[in-house]
Amino acid sequence: MPAAPQDHAGVIAFPPLIFAGHIVAGSIAHWVCPIPLMAPWLARIIGAVLAIAAGAQAYWASRTMKRAGTNVLPSQPTLAIVASGPFRYTRNPMYLSLCLLHLGIALLINGVLPAAFLIPLALTLHFGVIRREERYLAAKFGETYLAYRRRVRRWL
């Protein structure tokens, strides 16, 4: 008897773990070779603002998904295409939040190397999570998802 197809996107890892791995790697790199980004007081202010904004956006996106009756975790089935709240502006507000949080923490650390790890974080999320989710959603929801994808940008 063949196994039933799994009803989820099959992302490479839980996105917050991907974020944590990149921020830890960037922090270790900074500890080994500290290179400041800017004046410490300015970095702290901008970093705190970005971290708070990231948390607020992630919370808004999570609440919007729950209100729409779909699962937040990518390991669970998507039950609806959400096009309200922050999903009106970006198809991936939670992954954008992880990137903003990463940048905010890099600024709080005030390090060039932690900030540089934002690039591999974004690429890992793009190819290991987002592209897989897009294939899954297109296969599951067809034209409903494709029309949403045409209306709303992937990142910003």
Over residues 98-109, the pLDDT tens digits come to 999 999 999 999
Contact call for residues 73 and 137 (beta carbons, < 8 A): no
Residue 129, classed as helix, strand or coil, is: helix
pLDDT band for 65, please (50, 70, 90 cuts): very high
In a domain, 74, yes or no: yes
Q: Does residue 97 have a pLDDT over 70?
A: yes
**Placement of tokens 């297109």 in the chain:** 138
Instruction: Determine, yes or no, domain membership for 21.
Output: no
- The answer to whether residue 41 sits within a structural domain is no
20 lies in some domain: no
Residue pair 61/94 in contact by the 8 Å Cβ criterion: yes
Q: Residues 8-31: what's their mean pLDDT?
A: 97
Range of the domain at 136: 52-151
pLDDT band at 89 (very low <50, low <70, confident <90, very high): very high
Query: Which of the four pLDDT bands, split at 50, 70 and 90, describes residue 3?
Result: very low
Q: What percent of the chain has pLDDT over 90?
A: 94
- In this model, does residue 5 exceed pLDDT 70? no
In a domain, 5, yes or no: no
Give the pLDDT band (50/70/90) at residue 153: very high
Q: Above 90 in pLDDT, residue 1?
A: no
Assess if residue 71 is contained within a domain: yes
**At 109, is the secondary structure helix, strand, or coil?**
helix
Collapsing DSSP states into helix, strand and coil, what is residue 25? Answer: helix
* Domain annotation covers residue 1: no
Q: Is the model's pLDDT at 2 over the cut of 60?
A: no
Domains contained in the chain, number: 1
What is the percent of the chain where pLDDT is above 70? 97
Q: Let me know if residue 29 belongs to a domain.
A: no
pTM of the model: 0.93
39: Cβ contacts below 8 Å, ≥ 6 apart: none
